[in-house]
Amino acid sequence: MTELTSPDTSVLLEIYRKATLIKIADDRFIELIKAGQIASPYYSPRGQELVPSAISVNLRADDYVITTYRGIHDQLAKGIPLKPFVAEFMGKATGTCKGKGGPMHITHLASGLPVTTGIVGSGLPIANGLAWAALLKKSGQVTVVNFGDGASNIGAFHEALNLASVWNLPVVFVCQNNGYAEHTKYEYGTGARDIVDRAIGYGMHGIQCNGNDAVDMYCAAREAIERARNGQGPTLLEAKTFRFRGHLLGDDGHYIAKEIMDAAVAADPMPAFNQWLIAEGHATAEQLQAIEDENRAQFEEAVEFGLSSPYPDVSELGRDVYAEETGV
Amino acid sequence: MNEVKKKRMNMSQAINLALHDAMEQDDSVLALGEDIADREGGGVFKCTAGLSEKFGTDRVKSTPIAEQAIMGAAVGAALAGMRPVAEIMLMNFITVAMDQVVNHAAKLRFMTGGQTNVPLTIRTTTGAGFGTGGQHADYLEAWFAHTAGMKVVAPSNPADAYGLLLSCIFDDDPCLFIEGLPLYFAMGDAPVQGERIPLGKAKVVRQGSHVTIVSYSRTMVEVNQVAQELEKQDISVEVIDLRTISPLDMDTILDSVAKTGRLVVAHEAQVDFGVGAEIATRVHRELFGQLKAPVARVGAARSPVPFSKALEDEFIPTRQRITDAVLDVLK
């Protein structure tokens, strides 16, 4: 293994830009839902911003990222265009999926986001197929599939890891271990001491990292992605993180002990990364504020676009079911 | 067996030929499934024999016994522009992979607003009569026909199997291709090589005037025999081989029933909530005033597939039960 060192300032600031955009989007979506301007269930990624931000700076535009219903952080980090992204969230005709997928299925093939699934664990077997196709095309593309700790207990996880191993596929299986599968604490639902231990059972490379530490996350992701790109096969990458806003918006978090939540809030990766960047001399507070302000302005433009966009026509019920139009 | 030298072949050979021709024509056509590569024997029914030797094990891949992994890999490859043909060894095993088929393959085109499509084919076989009991022989086509986004195809003979399989492989939607197990071993006319049979087109295989029988897959064998027998009693049976279950070719059915005024639907799946129910209700809606009798349905018994030969022989829609249904609508 080559020695991996901290990324340079421009990369760190790009991670910061992505992460703050995610946090802004999360705050705004919650406001819009509470204001009745978006009608949708919402699965907040607050607290997990650094995971995809530090992964995606290692990816090519044409690499694939698969994610789940808790996926806006993965989509934003991969570079989904904001206007159709927000419009899709609102169920508008101008959305990435014409309003037909919604928040749980945000997809943007042109950004390398071919599947967002609402079914726990189902992205993993699909990642293998994308990776198989990439091998056949000799395209050098890597597929990153994101899922939670809960997904490591479903059959699809095990079938997919085994197949990726025997086919030596360029897949990075990223388990964003936020400690809770819906409301069930990790140790009550998962027999493995650590998710990464499960890599051993499939003869697969495994890495565990601190997903709330941008540099650690970056180095782990780079190692896994380089291995995939270089023909060294798949990696199970466990990123330890924490979920601040429950499983589903409205979740009161009663199943999380107060001292655990207090400790997590005290270690919130977002202010911590901000302060670290300043302390290490990568940026001034003003520069970081400017990044945030620009993100906020861009996101507001997208919100305006979404709010002013039309809803899809009812005829859409008969379109995209099959290649041929079926009619309503 | 890579080119048509024979005038007759069985359905296993016809499927093998279709896969071969599709893979030769288009590099994006792939195959995956349990034991399908030549190292593993070229498939349990030899439908994929010779393919990995000719096209390589990168394109023709044996898999672990892991149907979710098989279907997921097929979905992913299809999303990336390939045309994978996934073999699910026996139809009951697809229950293990229903999430990938129903929640993903069938729905991704719609849920992505048409950004993606999933041009995969699922080949699978099934059918009673081999003493395989309750978990190896079900006809589950109604589940998939009920799922928006899926196409369902069930040929009854080698030539149709060849032409329909080519159409499935090159179709831009997910297709379930059902291969009736006894049909693998029955000889029939060889296909016209390279010729595709369009999906969604039923075929009138026998002209008649008194009653119409609609059927598909292996039950067509029984239906054809029944029609021949009834002719001796001066009962003229029109037989329609549905070939594609979804999309359903109602035009061909309605034209025939408008003429005969009587319809029997026969399939090996259970009657209740089945394909026959869908056809019956559509026919009743369109031809209510012209029907001379209510539409009759014949199918398997409402039980799991039994093991004992004594039960299994009576489980499937027998010639006798199909004949009884015809005579009943003629009363």
Residue B198 falls inside a structural domain:
no
Residue B194 falls inside a structural domain:
no
CATH 3.40.50.970 is held by the domain A9-318: yes
Last residue of a domain, one of B165, B189, B213: B189
Residue B119 falls inside a structural domain:
yes
**Shared-domain flag, residues B127 and B244:** no
Cα separation of B277 and B302, whole Å? 14
Which one of the listed residues B20, B104, B136, B267 is annotated catalytic? B136
**Shared-domain flag, residues B175 and B239:** no
**Shared-domain flag, residues B268 and B164:** no
Q: What is the 3-state secondary structure (H, E, C) of B229-293?
A: HHHCCCCCEEEEECCEEECCCHHHHHHHHHHHCCEEEEEEEECCCCHHHHHHHHHHHHHHHHCCC
Structure tokens at A299: 């996101």
**Shared-domain flag, residues B175 and B27:** yes
Last residue of a domain, one of B189, B217, B239: B189
User: Is residue A298 classed exposed, middle or buried when 0-12, 13-18 and 19+ CB atoms within 10 A define those classes?
Assistant: middle
For the domain that residue B226 is a member of, what is the CATH number?
3.40.50.920
Assess whether B20 carries a catalytic annotation.
no
- Nearest-Cα distance to chain A for B48, in Å, is 20
Q: Hey, how many other C-beta atoms are within 10 angstroms of the C-beta on B41?
A: 14
Distances in whole angstroms, Cα of residue B20 to Cα of each of B50, B157, B169, B188, B273: 9, 18, 12, 19, 37
Residue owning tokens 């999360």: A26
Q: HSE on the CB side for A289, CA within 13 Å?
A: 3
**Which residues, numbered 232 to 291 in chain A, qualify as contacts with chain B under a Cβ-Cβ cut-off of 8 Å?**
none
**Shared-domain flag, residues B97 and B155:** yes
Mean per-residue pLDDT, B51-55: 98
pLDDT at position B3 is 55
The confidence band for B4, taking pLDDT boundaries of 50, 70 and 90, is low
**Shared-domain flag, residues B132 and B264:** no
Element (H, E) at B22: helix B11-25
Element (H, E) at B121: strand B121-126
pLDDT at position A327 is 77
pLDDT at position B7 is 86
Q: Which of A321, A325, A326 to mutate to test the interface with B (most CBs of B within 10 A)?
A: A321
Which segments within B2-82 are labelled E, that is strand? 8-10, 29-34, 60-63
Domain housing B299: 203-330
**Shared-domain flag, residues B142 and B291:** no
**Shared-domain flag, residues B26 and B109:** yes
Mean per-residue pLDDT, B138-146: 98
Residues of B in contact with A112 (CB under 8 A): none
- Which residues, given as ranges, of chain A have pLDDT below 70? 1-4
pLDDT at position B135 is 96
**Nearest CB to A119: which of B58, B81, B103?**
B103
Q: Are A68 and A146 in contact (CB under 8 A)?
A: yes
Q: Are B298 and B264 in contact (CB under 8 A)?
A: yes
Selection from B65, B187, B180 nearest residue B130 by Cα: B180
pLDDT at position B188 is 96
For B55, phi then psi, to 5°, come to: -105, -5
Residues of A in contact with B72 (CB under 8 A): 122, 124-129, 156, 159-160
Residue B207 falls inside a structural domain:
yes
For the domain that residue B98 is a member of, what is the CATH number?
3.40.50.970
User: Is residue B212 classed exposed, middle or buried when 0-12, 13-18 and 19+ CB atoms within 10 A define those classes?
Assistant: buried
Residue B196 falls inside a structural domain:
no
Residue B303 falls inside a structural domain:
yes
Cα separation of A107 and A110, whole Å? 9
CB of B173 within 8 Å of a chain A CB? The answer is yes
Distances in whole angstroms, Cα of residue B199 to Cα of each of A205, B160, B164, B209: 45, 11, 7, 26
**Shared-domain flag, residues B40 and B169:** yes
pLDDT at position A4 is 65
What's the domain count of chain B? 2
Residue B226 falls inside a structural domain:
yes
**Nearest CB to B76: which of A100, A128, A323?**
A128
Cα separation of A78 and A57, whole Å? 8
Q: What is the pLDDT of residues B258-301, one digit of tens each?
A: 999 999 999 999 999 999 999 999 999 999 999 999 999 999 99
**Shared-domain flag, residues B178 and B214:** no
Residues of A in contact with B247 (CB under 8 A): 322
**Which residues, numbered 57 to 96 in chain A, qualify as contacts with chain B under a Cβ-Cβ cut-off of 8 Å?**
64, 95-96
Last residue of a domain, one of B189, B213, B245: B189
**Shared-domain flag, residues B16 and B78:** yes
Which segments within A135-293 are labelled E, that is strand? 143-148, 171-177, 180-181, 184-185, 205-210, 235-240
Residue B3 falls inside a structural domain:
no
- Nearest-Cα distance to chain B for A291, in Å, is 31
Instruction: Please state the domain extents for chain A.
Output: 9-318
Strand B237-241 and strand B263-270: pairing? unpaired
Cα separation of A277 and A271, whole Å? 10
Residues of A in contact with B63 (CB under 8 A): 163
**Shared-domain flag, residues B171 and B52:** yes
User: Is residue A271 classed exposed, middle or buried when 0-12, 13-18 and 19+ CB atoms within 10 A define those classes?
Assistant: exposed
**Nearest CB to B113: which of A100, A127, A128?**
A100
Q: Which residue of A has its CA nearest to B119?
A: A323
Alpha helices in B50-123 (DSSP H): 51-55, 67-79, 98, 108-111
